[in-house]
Structure 1
Amino acid sequence: MSKFVLPEPVVRIEDVRELARDLLVIPNRRVPLVPNIGVVGGAHSVLVVETGMGPRNAEAVLAFAAEYAAGRRLYLTTTHFHPEHAFGAQVFAGKATFLVNRAQAEDLAAKGAAYLEMFRGLGEPVARQLEGVEIASPDVVYDDAYDLDLGGRVVRLRAAGRAHSRGDQVITVPDAGVMFTGDLVEAGQFAIFPWFPPYDTDVSGIRWISVMRRLADASPQVVVPGHGDVGGPQLLADVRDYLELLRDETWARRDSAVSEQTIVEEVRALMIERHPEWAGPEWIDKGVGCLCAEHPV
Protein backbone atom coordinates (compact mmCIF):
# COMPACT_ATOMS: atom_id res chain seq x y z
CA MET A 1 0.00 0.00 0.00
CA SER A 2 2.86 2.39 0.76
CA LYS A 3 6.02 3.23 -1.16
CA PHE A 4 7.78 4.81 1.79
CA VAL A 5 8.57 3.82 5.36
CA LEU A 6 5.86 5.05 7.69
CA PRO A 7 6.92 6.63 10.97
CA GLU A 8 6.29 4.79 14.23
CA PRO A 9 2.53 5.12 14.89
CA VAL A 10 2.90 5.97 18.58
CA VAL A 11 0.22 7.68 20.67
CA ARG A 12 1.90 10.33 22.80
CA ILE A 13 0.01 11.66 25.79
CA GLU A 14 0.98 15.27 25.23
CA ASP A 15 -0.72 18.50 24.17
CA VAL A 16 -3.95 17.03 25.50
CA ARG A 17 -6.74 19.45 24.65
CA GLU A 18 -9.81 20.14 26.75
CA LEU A 19 -12.73 20.73 24.36
CA ALA A 20 -15.34 21.22 27.08
CA ARG A 21 -15.84 20.47 30.75
CA ASP A 22 -14.62 16.92 31.43
CA LEU A 23 -14.00 16.23 27.74
CA LEU A 24 -10.48 15.78 26.40
CA VAL A 25 -8.81 14.88 23.13
CA ILE A 26 -5.36 13.30 22.83
CA PRO A 27 -4.35 14.70 19.42
CA ASN A 28 -2.84 12.54 16.72
CA ARG A 29 -0.20 15.24 15.99
CA ARG A 30 -0.71 14.46 12.28
CA VAL A 31 1.25 11.22 12.64
CA PRO A 32 0.04 8.64 10.09
CA LEU A 33 -1.93 5.76 11.59
CA VAL A 34 -2.43 7.56 14.90
CA PRO A 35 -6.06 8.58 15.55
CA ASN A 36 -7.45 11.39 17.64
CA ILE A 37 -8.49 9.80 20.94
CA GLY A 38 -11.34 11.06 23.11
CA VAL A 39 -11.87 10.90 26.87
CA VAL A 40 -15.39 11.93 27.92
CA GLY A 41 -16.35 12.13 31.58
CA GLY A 42 -19.53 12.21 33.65
CA ALA A 43 -20.26 12.03 37.35
CA HIS A 44 -19.72 8.27 37.67
CA SER A 45 -18.18 7.05 34.39
CA VAL A 46 -15.64 7.92 31.69
CA LEU A 47 -15.80 6.90 28.02
CA VAL A 48 -12.63 6.39 25.96
CA VAL A 49 -13.03 6.78 22.19
CA GLU A 50 -10.38 4.79 20.20
CA THR A 51 -7.48 2.69 21.51
CA GLY A 52 -4.57 3.53 19.23
CA MET A 53 -2.76 0.82 17.29
CA GLY A 54 -1.79 -2.23 19.28
CA PRO A 55 -1.30 -3.11 22.95
CA ARG A 56 1.48 -0.67 23.81
CA ASN A 57 -0.43 2.35 22.57
CA ALA A 58 -3.59 1.12 24.28
CA GLU A 59 -1.71 0.67 27.55
CA ALA A 60 -0.68 4.33 27.45
CA VAL A 61 -4.24 5.40 26.67
CA LEU A 62 -5.69 3.20 29.41
CA ALA A 63 -3.18 4.47 31.99
CA PHE A 64 -4.05 8.08 31.16
CA ALA A 65 -7.80 7.40 31.20
CA ALA A 66 -7.69 5.49 34.47
CA GLU A 67 -5.75 8.25 36.20
CA TYR A 68 -8.11 10.86 34.77
CA ALA A 69 -11.19 8.84 35.79
CA ALA A 70 -10.01 8.83 39.41
CA GLY A 71 -12.16 5.86 40.37
CA ARG A 72 -15.00 6.41 37.92
CA ARG A 73 -16.14 3.44 35.84
CA LEU A 74 -14.48 3.11 32.42
CA TYR A 75 -16.12 2.44 29.06
CA LEU A 76 -14.42 2.00 25.67
CA THR A 77 -15.83 2.48 22.19
CA THR A 78 -14.27 2.71 18.74
CA THR A 79 -15.49 4.50 15.62
CA HIS A 80 -14.77 1.52 13.33
CA PHE A 81 -12.72 -1.67 13.28
CA HIS A 82 -9.53 -0.51 11.52
CA PRO A 83 -6.29 -1.29 13.37
CA GLU A 84 -5.26 2.18 14.59
CA HIS A 85 -8.72 2.72 16.02
CA ALA A 86 -9.59 -0.64 17.59
CA PHE A 87 -6.62 -3.01 17.72
CA GLY A 88 -5.75 -2.22 21.31
CA ALA A 89 -9.10 -3.13 22.83
CA GLN A 90 -7.70 -6.30 24.43
CA VAL A 91 -5.81 -4.13 26.95
CA PHE A 92 -9.09 -2.74 28.29
CA ALA A 93 -10.52 -6.22 29.03
CA GLY A 94 -11.59 -6.44 32.66
CA LYS A 95 -10.91 -2.73 33.18
CA ALA A 96 -13.51 -1.14 30.91
CA THR A 97 -16.78 -2.12 29.25
CA PHE A 98 -16.20 -2.31 25.49
CA LEU A 99 -19.30 -1.39 23.47
CA VAL A 100 -19.85 -0.89 19.74
CA ASN A 101 -22.54 -1.13 17.07
CA ARG A 102 -23.35 -4.54 15.63
CA ALA A 103 -22.02 -3.92 12.11
CA GLN A 104 -18.68 -2.85 13.57
CA ALA A 105 -18.53 -5.93 15.80
CA GLU A 106 -19.19 -8.09 12.74
CA ASP A 107 -16.47 -6.27 10.78
CA LEU A 108 -14.02 -6.86 13.62
CA ALA A 109 -14.80 -10.57 13.79
CA ALA A 110 -14.89 -11.16 10.02
CA LYS A 111 -12.05 -8.90 8.83
CA GLY A 112 -9.86 -8.27 11.86
CA ALA A 113 -7.33 -11.02 11.18
CA ALA A 114 -6.92 -10.07 7.51
CA TYR A 115 -6.43 -6.39 8.34
CA LEU A 116 -3.88 -7.33 10.98
CA GLU A 117 -1.82 -9.13 8.35
CA MET A 118 -2.27 -6.35 5.79
CA PHE A 119 -1.13 -3.65 8.20
CA ARG A 120 1.85 -5.71 9.33
CA GLY A 121 2.99 -5.46 5.73
CA LEU A 122 3.18 -1.66 5.93
CA GLY A 123 6.67 -1.78 7.42
CA GLU A 124 8.59 -2.59 10.58
CA PRO A 125 7.45 0.47 12.59
CA VAL A 126 3.81 -0.49 12.10
CA ALA A 127 4.46 -4.20 12.61
CA ARG A 128 6.15 -3.46 15.95
CA GLN A 129 3.03 -1.76 17.27
CA LEU A 130 0.93 -4.73 16.16
CA GLU A 131 2.99 -7.30 18.07
CA GLY A 132 0.80 -9.31 20.42
CA VAL A 133 -2.52 -8.06 19.04
CA GLU A 134 -5.51 -10.23 19.87
CA ILE A 135 -8.83 -9.33 18.27
CA ALA A 136 -11.12 -8.41 21.18
CA SER A 137 -14.83 -9.12 21.41
CA PRO A 138 -17.09 -6.29 22.60
CA ASP A 139 -18.91 -6.66 25.91
CA VAL A 140 -21.99 -4.78 24.70
CA VAL A 141 -23.29 -4.69 21.12
CA TYR A 142 -26.18 -2.51 19.97
CA ASP A 143 -27.99 -2.34 16.62
CA ASP A 144 -28.53 1.29 15.60
CA ALA A 145 -28.51 3.59 18.63
CA TYR A 146 -27.22 3.54 22.20
CA ASP A 147 -27.39 6.31 24.79
CA LEU A 148 -24.62 5.92 27.36
CA ASP A 149 -25.26 7.65 30.69
CA LEU A 150 -21.97 8.72 32.26
CA GLY A 151 -23.73 10.49 35.11
CA GLY A 152 -25.18 13.90 34.35
CA ARG A 153 -23.98 13.52 30.76
CA VAL A 154 -25.44 11.26 28.10
CA VAL A 155 -23.27 10.31 25.13
CA ARG A 156 -25.04 9.26 21.94
CA LEU A 157 -23.55 6.33 20.03
CA ARG A 158 -25.05 5.93 16.56
CA ALA A 159 -24.39 3.45 13.77
CA ALA A 160 -23.77 5.56 10.68
CA GLY A 161 -24.47 2.85 8.13
CA ARG A 162 -22.11 1.72 5.41
CA ALA A 163 -19.74 4.50 4.30
CA HIS A 164 -15.98 4.49 5.03
CA SER A 165 -16.59 0.98 6.36
CA ARG A 166 -19.67 -1.14 6.86
CA GLY A 167 -19.68 -0.50 10.59
CA ASP A 168 -18.92 3.21 11.06
CA GLN A 169 -20.06 4.72 14.35
CA VAL A 170 -20.47 8.39 15.29
CA ILE A 171 -20.22 9.50 18.92
CA THR A 172 -21.89 12.75 19.97
CA VAL A 173 -21.76 14.61 23.28
CA PRO A 174 -24.84 16.84 22.99
CA ASP A 175 -24.30 19.05 26.03
CA ALA A 176 -20.84 20.00 24.71
CA GLY A 177 -21.73 20.12 21.01
CA VAL A 178 -18.87 17.70 20.21
CA MET A 179 -18.95 14.98 17.54
CA PHE A 180 -16.38 12.20 17.06
CA THR A 181 -16.54 11.02 13.45
CA GLY A 182 -13.71 8.54 13.05
CA ASP A 183 -12.54 8.25 9.45
CA LEU A 184 -15.78 9.52 8.02
CA VAL A 185 -13.95 12.84 8.32
CA GLU A 186 -10.26 13.72 8.03
CA ALA A 187 -8.92 17.24 8.42
CA GLY A 188 -6.46 18.40 5.77
CA GLN A 189 -6.50 15.04 4.02
CA PHE A 190 -8.32 13.41 1.12
CA ALA A 191 -11.03 10.98 2.24
CA ILE A 192 -9.61 7.51 2.92
CA PHE A 193 -11.26 4.91 0.70
CA PRO A 194 -10.34 1.37 1.84
CA TRP A 195 -11.18 0.04 -1.63
CA PHE A 196 -9.25 -3.23 -1.95
CA PRO A 197 -11.01 -5.45 -4.49
CA PRO A 198 -11.60 -8.33 -4.37
CA TYR A 199 -10.81 -8.55 -0.65
CA ASP A 200 -12.72 -5.59 0.78
CA THR A 201 -15.19 -3.46 -1.16
CA ASP A 202 -17.53 -2.43 1.64
CA VAL A 203 -16.66 1.27 1.38
CA SER A 204 -19.42 3.17 -0.43
CA GLY A 205 -18.93 6.66 -1.81
CA ILE A 206 -22.66 7.09 -2.45
CA ARG A 207 -23.69 6.15 1.07
CA TRP A 208 -20.79 8.14 2.52
CA ILE A 209 -22.22 11.27 0.90
CA SER A 210 -25.62 10.57 2.48
CA VAL A 211 -24.00 10.13 5.89
CA MET A 212 -22.08 13.39 5.54
CA ARG A 213 -25.25 15.26 4.65
CA ARG A 214 -26.91 13.98 7.83
CA LEU A 215 -23.91 14.84 9.98
CA ALA A 216 -23.66 18.32 8.50
CA ASP A 217 -27.37 18.88 9.19
CA ALA A 218 -26.73 18.04 12.87
CA SER A 219 -24.52 21.19 13.12
CA PRO A 220 -22.17 20.21 15.97
CA GLN A 221 -20.02 22.99 17.37
CA VAL A 222 -16.84 20.89 17.46
CA VAL A 223 -15.83 18.03 15.14
CA VAL A 224 -13.11 15.55 16.12
CA PRO A 225 -11.96 13.88 12.89
CA GLY A 226 -10.34 10.48 12.72
CA HIS A 227 -7.04 12.14 11.77
CA GLY A 228 -5.98 15.77 11.60
CA ASP A 229 -6.83 18.85 13.61
CA VAL A 230 -10.03 19.27 15.59
CA GLY A 231 -12.30 21.81 13.91
CA GLY A 232 -15.81 23.14 13.51
CA PRO A 233 -18.79 22.08 11.40
CA GLN A 234 -17.03 23.29 8.24
CA LEU A 235 -15.03 20.03 8.35
CA LEU A 236 -18.25 18.13 7.67
CA ALA A 237 -19.17 20.42 4.78
CA ASP A 238 -15.67 20.12 3.32
CA VAL A 239 -15.83 16.32 3.22
CA ARG A 240 -19.39 16.32 1.87
CA ASP A 241 -18.48 18.76 -0.89
CA TYR A 242 -15.31 16.84 -1.80
CA LEU A 243 -17.15 13.52 -2.03
CA GLU A 244 -19.91 15.03 -4.14
CA LEU A 245 -17.37 16.56 -6.54
CA LEU A 246 -15.41 13.29 -6.68
CA ARG A 247 -18.63 11.45 -7.56
CA ASP A 248 -19.73 13.98 -10.17
CA GLU A 249 -16.38 14.17 -11.94
CA THR A 250 -15.90 10.41 -11.88
CA TRP A 251 -19.37 9.62 -13.18
CA ALA A 252 -19.21 12.26 -15.92
CA ARG A 253 -16.11 10.58 -17.31
CA ARG A 254 -17.38 7.05 -16.76
CA ASP A 255 -20.52 7.88 -18.69
CA SER A 256 -18.32 9.13 -21.54
CA ALA A 257 -16.86 5.61 -21.81
CA VAL A 258 -13.22 6.63 -21.23
CA SER A 259 -10.90 4.15 -19.55
CA GLU A 260 -10.76 3.94 -15.75
CA GLN A 261 -7.06 4.83 -15.86
CA THR A 262 -7.89 8.02 -17.74
CA ILE A 263 -10.65 8.80 -15.23
CA VAL A 264 -8.20 8.30 -12.35
CA GLU A 265 -5.54 10.55 -13.88
CA GLU A 266 -7.92 13.35 -14.80
CA VAL A 267 -9.88 13.33 -11.56
CA ARG A 268 -6.72 13.09 -9.44
CA ALA A 269 -5.26 16.15 -11.17
CA LEU A 270 -8.49 18.08 -10.67
CA MET A 271 -8.78 17.22 -6.97
CA ILE A 272 -5.16 18.09 -6.23
CA GLU A 273 -5.64 21.39 -8.04
CA ARG A 274 -8.73 22.04 -5.91
CA HIS A 275 -7.03 21.03 -2.61
CA PRO A 276 -3.25 21.38 -3.08
CA GLU A 277 -2.66 21.54 0.67
CA TRP A 278 -4.39 18.23 1.49
CA ALA A 279 -2.37 15.09 2.28
CA GLY A 280 -3.02 11.57 1.02
CA PRO A 281 -3.58 12.08 -2.73
CA GLU A 282 -3.19 8.32 -3.24
CA TRP A 283 -6.68 7.92 -1.76
CA ILE A 284 -8.19 9.83 -4.69
CA ASP A 285 -7.42 6.87 -6.96
CA LYS A 286 -9.15 4.47 -4.55
CA GLY A 287 -12.16 6.76 -4.39
CA VAL A 288 -12.42 6.87 -8.16
CA GLY A 289 -12.22 3.08 -8.31
CA CYS A 290 -14.97 2.75 -5.74
CA LEU A 291 -17.26 5.25 -7.47
CA CYS A 292 -16.64 3.70 -10.89
CA ALA A 293 -18.13 0.51 -9.48
CA GLU A 294 -21.15 2.23 -7.90
CA HIS A 295 -24.38 3.38 -9.47
CA PRO A 296 -27.12 5.77 -8.32
CA VAL A 297 -29.47 4.33 -5.72
Structure 2
Amino acid sequence: MSEHVLPEPVVRIEEVRELARDLVVIPNRRVQLVPNIGVIGGTHSVLVVETGMGPRNAETVLGFAAEYAAGRRLYLTTTHFHPEHAFGAQVFAGQATFLVNRAQAEDLAAKGAAYLDMFRGLGEPVARQLEGVEIATPDVVYDDAYDLDLGGRVVRLLATGRAHSRGDQVITVPDAGVMFTGDLVEAGQFAIFPWFPPHDTDVSGTRWISVMRRLAGASPRVVVPGHGDVGGPQLLADVRDYLELLRDETWARRDSAVGEQTIVEEVRAVMIERHPEWAGREWIEKGVGCLCAEHPA
Protein backbone atom coordinates (compact mmCIF):
# COMPACT_ATOMS: atom_id res chain seq x y z
CA MET A 1 0.00 0.00 0.00
CA SER A 2 2.75 2.45 0.86
CA GLU A 3 6.53 2.24 0.76
CA HIS A 4 7.21 4.42 3.80
CA VAL A 5 6.65 3.54 7.44
CA LEU A 6 3.11 4.39 8.41
CA PRO A 7 2.47 6.51 11.49
CA GLU A 8 0.65 5.11 14.50
CA PRO A 9 -3.02 4.91 13.38
CA VAL A 10 -4.51 6.20 16.62
CA VAL A 11 -7.94 7.81 17.02
CA ARG A 12 -7.70 10.91 19.18
CA ILE A 13 -10.68 12.75 20.60
CA GLU A 14 -9.45 16.12 19.43
CA GLU A 15 -11.04 18.94 17.47
CA VAL A 16 -14.41 17.18 17.57
CA ARG A 17 -16.62 19.10 15.18
CA GLU A 18 -20.37 19.62 15.46
CA LEU A 19 -21.92 19.35 12.00
CA ALA A 20 -25.53 19.83 13.09
CA ARG A 21 -27.68 19.54 16.19
CA ASP A 22 -26.66 16.39 18.10
CA LEU A 23 -24.30 15.28 15.33
CA VAL A 24 -20.51 15.38 15.59
CA VAL A 25 -17.49 14.02 13.75
CA ILE A 26 -14.20 12.91 15.30
CA PRO A 27 -11.77 13.98 12.54
CA ASN A 28 -9.00 11.74 11.32
CA ARG A 29 -6.52 14.66 11.44
CA ARG A 30 -5.20 13.43 8.06
CA VAL A 31 -3.50 10.49 9.76
CA GLN A 32 -3.27 7.48 7.46
CA LEU A 33 -5.45 4.52 8.40
CA VAL A 34 -7.56 6.63 10.76
CA PRO A 35 -11.10 7.25 9.49
CA ASN A 36 -13.45 10.11 10.16
CA ILE A 37 -15.86 8.84 12.82
CA GLY A 38 -19.43 10.02 13.26
CA VAL A 39 -21.68 10.16 16.31
CA ILE A 40 -25.33 10.90 15.51
CA GLY A 41 -27.94 11.43 18.22
CA GLY A 42 -31.71 11.28 18.59
CA THR A 43 -33.92 11.53 21.65
CA HIS A 44 -33.50 7.89 22.69
CA SER A 45 -30.57 6.48 20.68
CA VAL A 46 -27.15 7.32 19.26
CA LEU A 47 -25.49 5.86 16.15
CA VAL A 48 -21.69 5.54 15.89
CA VAL A 49 -20.23 5.41 12.37
CA GLU A 50 -16.86 3.55 12.19
CA THR A 51 -14.80 2.00 15.00
CA GLY A 52 -11.22 2.91 14.22
CA MET A 53 -8.56 0.23 13.76
CA GLY A 54 -8.46 -2.43 16.45
CA PRO A 55 -9.71 -2.80 20.03
CA ARG A 56 -7.78 0.07 21.61
CA ASN A 57 -9.05 2.64 19.13
CA ALA A 58 -12.56 1.22 19.44
CA GLU A 59 -12.40 1.55 23.22
CA THR A 60 -11.58 5.23 22.76
CA VAL A 61 -14.51 5.66 20.37
CA LEU A 62 -16.90 3.71 22.60
CA GLY A 63 -15.86 5.73 25.63
CA PHE A 64 -16.57 8.99 23.82
CA ALA A 65 -19.86 7.69 22.40
CA ALA A 66 -21.11 6.40 25.74
CA GLU A 67 -20.40 9.74 27.41
CA TYR A 68 -22.02 11.57 24.50
CA ALA A 69 -25.08 9.30 24.61
CA ALA A 70 -25.61 9.99 28.32
CA GLY A 71 -27.78 6.93 28.82
CA ARG A 72 -29.26 6.72 25.35
CA ARG A 73 -29.17 3.37 23.50
CA LEU A 74 -26.12 2.84 21.27
CA TYR A 75 -25.96 1.56 17.71
CA LEU A 76 -22.86 0.95 15.58
CA THR A 77 -22.46 0.82 11.83
CA THR A 78 -19.46 0.82 9.49
CA THR A 79 -19.22 2.05 5.91
CA HIS A 80 -17.36 -1.07 4.70
CA PHE A 81 -15.34 -3.96 6.10
CA HIS A 82 -11.76 -2.62 5.83
CA PRO A 83 -9.72 -2.76 9.06
CA GLU A 84 -9.56 0.92 10.04
CA HIS A 85 -13.33 1.21 9.63
CA ALA A 86 -14.66 -2.02 11.13
CA PHE A 87 -11.97 -4.00 12.98
CA GLY A 88 -12.92 -2.67 16.39
CA ALA A 89 -16.56 -3.76 16.37
CA GLN A 90 -15.91 -6.53 18.90
CA VAL A 91 -15.48 -3.87 21.61
CA PHE A 92 -19.06 -2.70 21.10
CA ALA A 93 -20.53 -6.18 21.74
CA GLY A 94 -23.04 -5.99 24.56
CA GLN A 95 -22.82 -2.18 24.52
CA ALA A 96 -24.30 -1.38 21.10
CA THR A 97 -26.35 -3.01 18.35
CA PHE A 98 -24.09 -3.55 15.33
CA LEU A 99 -25.91 -3.26 12.01
CA VAL A 100 -24.65 -3.29 8.41
CA ASN A 101 -25.75 -4.20 4.91
CA ARG A 102 -25.66 -7.85 3.85
CA ALA A 103 -22.81 -7.53 1.32
CA GLN A 104 -20.62 -5.90 3.96
CA ALA A 105 -21.43 -8.64 6.48
CA GLU A 106 -20.44 -11.21 3.85
CA ASP A 107 -17.20 -9.33 3.15
CA LEU A 108 -16.37 -9.35 6.88
CA ALA A 109 -16.93 -13.10 7.12
CA ALA A 110 -15.19 -14.03 3.87
CA LYS A 111 -12.27 -11.57 3.78
CA GLY A 112 -11.79 -10.32 7.31
CA ALA A 113 -9.06 -12.78 8.28
CA ALA A 114 -7.09 -12.22 5.08
CA TYR A 115 -7.22 -8.42 5.47
CA LEU A 116 -6.16 -8.76 9.07
CA ASP A 117 -3.04 -10.65 7.94
CA MET A 118 -2.35 -8.20 5.11
CA PHE A 119 -2.63 -5.11 7.31
CA ARG A 120 -0.45 -6.65 10.01
CA GLY A 121 2.26 -6.71 7.36
CA LEU A 122 2.15 -2.92 6.95
CA GLY A 123 4.51 -2.35 9.86
CA GLU A 124 4.75 -2.43 13.63
CA PRO A 125 2.54 0.63 14.30
CA VAL A 126 -0.35 -0.95 12.40
CA ALA A 127 0.25 -4.46 13.75
CA ARG A 128 0.22 -3.06 17.27
CA GLN A 129 -3.26 -1.63 16.83
CA LEU A 130 -4.50 -4.92 15.38
CA GLU A 131 -3.45 -6.99 18.39
CA GLY A 132 -6.38 -8.98 19.74
CA VAL A 133 -8.72 -8.30 16.83
CA GLU A 134 -11.63 -10.67 16.48
CA ILE A 135 -13.86 -10.32 13.43
CA ALA A 136 -17.28 -9.34 14.77
CA THR A 137 -20.61 -10.67 13.52
CA PRO A 138 -23.28 -7.97 13.02
CA ASP A 139 -26.43 -8.14 15.14
CA VAL A 140 -28.69 -6.79 12.39
CA VAL A 141 -28.20 -7.24 8.63
CA TYR A 142 -30.29 -5.54 5.94
CA ASP A 143 -30.36 -5.93 2.16
CA ASP A 144 -30.71 -2.58 0.35
CA ALA A 145 -31.71 0.17 2.77
CA TYR A 146 -32.49 0.56 6.46
CA ASP A 147 -34.14 3.48 8.24
CA LEU A 148 -32.89 3.71 11.82
CA ASP A 149 -35.13 5.71 14.15
CA LEU A 150 -33.01 7.39 16.84
CA GLY A 151 -35.96 9.29 18.25
CA GLY A 152 -37.04 12.45 16.45
CA ARG A 153 -34.38 11.70 13.83
CA VAL A 154 -34.27 8.94 11.22
CA VAL A 155 -30.90 7.98 9.79
CA ARG A 156 -30.85 6.14 6.47
CA LEU A 157 -28.32 3.37 5.80
CA LEU A 158 -28.03 2.63 2.09
CA ALA A 159 -26.11 -0.16 0.38
CA THR A 160 -24.62 1.37 -2.76
CA GLY A 161 -23.59 -1.82 -4.53
CA ARG A 162 -20.08 -2.74 -5.58
CA ALA A 163 -17.66 0.17 -5.92
CA HIS A 164 -14.68 0.72 -3.57
CA SER A 165 -15.65 -2.65 -2.11
CA ARG A 166 -18.49 -5.10 -2.69
CA GLY A 167 -20.25 -4.02 0.48
CA ASP A 168 -20.07 -0.22 0.57
CA GLN A 169 -22.81 1.69 2.35
CA VAL A 170 -23.46 5.39 2.90
CA ILE A 171 -25.15 6.86 5.95
CA THR A 172 -27.30 9.93 5.51
CA VAL A 173 -28.98 12.18 8.05
CA PRO A 174 -31.76 13.79 6.01
CA ASP A 175 -32.83 16.43 8.56
CA ALA A 176 -29.24 17.70 8.76
CA GLY A 177 -28.21 17.20 5.11
CA VAL A 178 -25.16 15.16 6.17
CA MET A 179 -23.73 12.17 4.30
CA PHE A 180 -21.03 9.76 5.54
CA THR A 181 -19.42 8.11 2.50
CA GLY A 182 -16.60 5.95 3.84
CA ASP A 183 -13.88 5.37 1.25
CA LEU A 184 -16.15 6.04 -1.70
CA VAL A 185 -14.86 9.57 -1.14
CA GLU A 186 -11.54 10.89 0.13
CA ALA A 187 -10.68 14.57 0.48
CA GLY A 188 -7.36 15.73 -0.94
CA GLN A 189 -6.38 12.23 -1.97
CA PHE A 190 -6.53 9.99 -5.00
CA ALA A 191 -9.28 7.37 -4.80
CA ILE A 192 -8.18 4.22 -2.95
CA PHE A 193 -8.42 1.18 -5.24
CA PRO A 194 -7.98 -2.05 -3.25
CA TRP A 195 -7.03 -3.87 -6.45
CA PHE A 196 -5.01 -6.89 -5.32
CA PRO A 197 -5.28 -9.58 -8.01
CA PRO A 198 -5.71 -12.48 -7.75
CA HIS A 199 -6.68 -12.22 -4.07
CA ASP A 200 -9.20 -9.37 -4.16
CA THR A 201 -10.60 -7.78 -7.32
CA ASP A 202 -14.01 -6.69 -6.04
CA VAL A 203 -13.31 -2.99 -6.49
CA SER A 204 -14.97 -1.71 -9.68
CA GLY A 205 -14.06 1.59 -11.26
CA THR A 206 -17.02 1.60 -13.63
CA ARG A 207 -19.55 0.83 -10.92
CA TRP A 208 -17.88 3.35 -8.62
CA ILE A 209 -18.52 6.05 -11.22
CA SER A 210 -22.21 5.11 -11.33
CA VAL A 211 -22.42 5.26 -7.53
CA MET A 212 -20.76 8.67 -7.44
CA ARG A 213 -23.17 10.03 -10.04
CA ARG A 214 -26.11 8.95 -7.86
CA LEU A 215 -24.58 10.36 -4.68
CA ALA A 216 -23.71 13.67 -6.34
CA GLY A 217 -27.34 13.91 -7.45
CA ALA A 218 -28.45 13.77 -3.82
CA SER A 219 -26.74 17.13 -3.14
CA PRO A 220 -26.09 16.80 0.61
CA ARG A 221 -25.14 19.92 2.55
CA VAL A 222 -22.17 18.26 4.27
CA VAL A 223 -20.04 15.31 3.10
CA VAL A 224 -17.93 13.35 5.58
CA PRO A 225 -15.32 11.44 3.56
CA GLY A 226 -13.63 8.27 4.72
CA HIS A 227 -10.38 10.20 5.14
CA GLY A 228 -9.54 13.88 4.88
CA ASP A 229 -11.37 17.08 5.68
CA VAL A 230 -15.14 17.32 5.91
CA GLY A 231 -16.54 19.31 2.99
CA GLY A 232 -19.57 20.02 0.86
CA PRO A 233 -21.12 18.36 -2.19
CA GLN A 234 -18.15 19.39 -4.33
CA LEU A 235 -16.27 16.45 -2.78
CA LEU A 236 -18.68 14.08 -4.52
CA ALA A 237 -18.25 15.86 -7.84
CA ASP A 238 -14.45 15.86 -7.47
CA VAL A 239 -14.32 12.08 -7.02
CA ARG A 240 -16.79 11.47 -9.84
CA ASP A 241 -14.79 13.68 -12.20
CA TYR A 242 -11.49 12.07 -11.22
CA LEU A 243 -12.80 8.54 -11.75
CA GLU A 244 -14.29 9.46 -15.12
CA LEU A 245 -11.01 11.03 -16.24
CA LEU A 246 -9.04 8.03 -14.96
CA ARG A 247 -11.31 5.71 -16.97
CA ASP A 248 -11.19 7.82 -20.11
CA GLU A 249 -7.41 8.24 -20.10
CA THR A 250 -6.86 4.55 -19.35
CA TRP A 251 -9.31 3.24 -21.93
CA ALA A 252 -8.05 5.58 -24.66
CA ARG A 253 -4.60 4.07 -24.30
CA ARG A 254 -5.98 0.56 -23.98
CA ASP A 255 -7.82 1.08 -27.28
CA SER A 256 -4.48 1.93 -28.86
CA ALA A 257 -3.01 -1.38 -27.66
CA VAL A 258 -0.44 0.38 -25.45
CA GLY A 259 1.22 -1.84 -22.85
CA GLU A 260 -0.14 -1.61 -19.32
CA GLN A 261 3.08 -0.26 -17.82
CA THR A 262 3.12 2.53 -20.37
CA ILE A 263 -0.53 3.23 -19.62
CA VAL A 264 0.29 3.46 -15.92
CA GLU A 265 3.18 5.87 -16.47
CA GLU A 266 1.29 8.13 -18.86
CA VAL A 267 -1.97 8.20 -16.90
CA ARG A 268 -0.12 8.76 -13.64
CA ALA A 269 1.56 11.81 -15.15
CA VAL A 270 -1.79 13.19 -16.34
CA MET A 271 -3.44 12.69 -12.95
CA ILE A 272 -0.59 14.26 -10.97
CA GLU A 273 -0.54 17.24 -13.31
CA ARG A 274 -4.29 17.63 -12.76
CA HIS A 275 -4.10 17.19 -8.97
CA PRO A 276 -0.52 17.93 -7.83
CA GLU A 277 -1.65 18.61 -4.27
CA TRP A 278 -3.42 15.28 -3.73
CA ALA A 279 -1.88 12.54 -1.57
CA GLY A 280 -1.96 8.80 -2.22
CA ARG A 281 -0.31 8.75 -5.64
CA GLU A 282 0.36 5.02 -5.24
CA TRP A 283 -3.35 4.37 -5.79
CA ILE A 284 -3.29 5.70 -9.36
CA GLU A 285 -1.54 2.56 -10.61
CA LYS A 286 -4.08 0.35 -8.81
CA GLY A 287 -6.90 2.29 -10.42
CA VAL A 288 -5.38 1.90 -13.87
CA GLY A 289 -5.01 -1.84 -13.31
CA CYS A 290 -8.64 -2.15 -12.27
CA LEU A 291 -9.91 -0.14 -15.23
CA CYS A 292 -7.72 -2.05 -17.68
CA ALA A 293 -9.42 -5.21 -16.45
CA GLU A 294 -12.83 -3.55 -16.94
CA HIS A 295 -12.03 -2.30 -20.43
CA PRO A 296 -14.75 -3.48 -22.84
CA ALA A 297 -13.35 -6.10 -25.17
Q: Which TM-score band applies after superposition, normalised by the shorter structure?
A: over 0.9
Q: Which digits, 9 at most, give the CA deviation of each residue in 1:40-86, with x for residues without a partner?
A: 00000000000000000000000000000000000000000000000
| Structure 1 CA distance for aligned equivalents of residues 3 and 287 of structure 2 | 19
The answer as to whether partners of 1:10 and 1:57 remain within 8 angstroms in 2 is yes
The answer as to whether partners of 1:47 and 1:75 remain within 8 angstroms in 2 is yes
Helix, strand or coil at the partner of 1:176 = coil
| Structure 2 CA distance for aligned equivalents of residues 296 and 28 of structure 1 | 38
| Structure 2 CA distance for aligned equivalents of residues 2 and 41 of structure 1 | 36
| Structure 2 CA distance for aligned equivalents of residues 280 and 272 of structure 1 | 10
| Structure 2 CA distance for aligned equivalents of residues 255 and 114 of structure 1 | 35
- Corresponding position of 2:205: 205
Aligned length: 297
Helix, strand or coil at the partner of 1:175 = coil
Alignment identity in percent? 92
Alignment RMSD (CA, Å): 0.8
The answer as to whether partners of 2:254 and 2:295 remain within 8 angstroms in 1 is no
Q: Which digits, 9 at most, give the CA deviation of each residue in 1:133-188, with x for residues without a partner?
A: 00000000000000000000000000010000000000000000000000000000
| Structure 1 CA distance for aligned equivalents of residues 256 and 287 of structure 2 | 18
CA shift at 1:2, angstroms?
2.4
CA shift at 1:296, angstroms?
4.8
CA shift at 1:204, angstroms?
0.1
- Corresponding position of 1:81: 81
Which 4+ stretches in 1 moved above 4 angstroms?
Answer: none
Tell me the TM-score normalised to structure 1 length.
0.99
The answer as to whether partners of 1:206 and 1:296 remain within 8 angstroms in 2 is no
| Structure 2 CA distance for aligned equivalents of residues 2 and 185 of structure 1 | 19
Q: Which digits, 9 at most, give the CA deviation of each residue in 1:198-255, with x for residues without a partner?
A: 0000000000000000000000000000000000000000000000000000000001
| Structure 2 CA distance for aligned equivalents of residues 229 and 2 of structure 1 | 21
Helix, strand or coil at the partner of 2:175 = helix
CA shift at 1:3, angstroms?
1.4
Helix, strand or coil at the partner of 1:51 = coil
The answer as to whether partners of 2:192 and 2:283 remain within 8 angstroms in 1 is yes
Q: Which digits, 9 at most, give the CA deviation of each residue in 1:83-125, with x for residues without a partner?
A: 0000000000000000000000000000000000000000000
| Structure 2 CA distance for aligned equivalents of residues 189 and 2 of structure 1 | 14
The answer for unaligned runs of 5 or more in structure 2 is none
| Structure 2 CA distance for aligned equivalents of residues 95 and 55 of structure 1 | 14
The answer for unaligned runs of 5 or more in structure 1 is none
